[in-house]
Amino acid sequence: MKIKSAYFAGGCFWGVEYFFEKLDGVKSAVSGYMGGQLNNPSYKDVCSGLSGHLEVVRVDYDENQVSYENLTKLFFEIHDPTQSNGQGPDIGSQYLSAIFYTNEKEKNIAENLIDILKQKNYAVATQLISKQNNSFFEAEEYHQNYYFVHHKIPYCHSYTKRFD
């Protein structure tokens, strides 16, 4: 088993986490924050829009069971990568679409998938950001496994097939 981590921001982390947790090969999906100026920000800090953080899900996966490319395809299929001001009814800088890539191979995979979407006339707003200077801060416990704990389903996220 070779566990790796991938980092996806696709609006409210509850919905992103929900869909990744259901994927074979994913060992865990953890809600958190990345991309801002504060160390260990709180949900209140992030929601203020002043910290610069995005709501992000760290996906820990076994690369022998699921590829980074398949994770990234799912990411593009569970949120609207064309929305530039948030996700669904959640508007604000903390809800923007982004991939925090950990190496050039991941960046190239994401760029290739974005090119495919653009060829299908999607105006992709997803940002590609290097994780190098961006730490992942785990969100508060009450955000973890939110839909499972509360027996609900996502209201901002749904699955839309975009890749063949």
The residues that are catalytic are 12
Give the CA dihedral 152, 9, 91, 163, nearest 10 degrees: -80
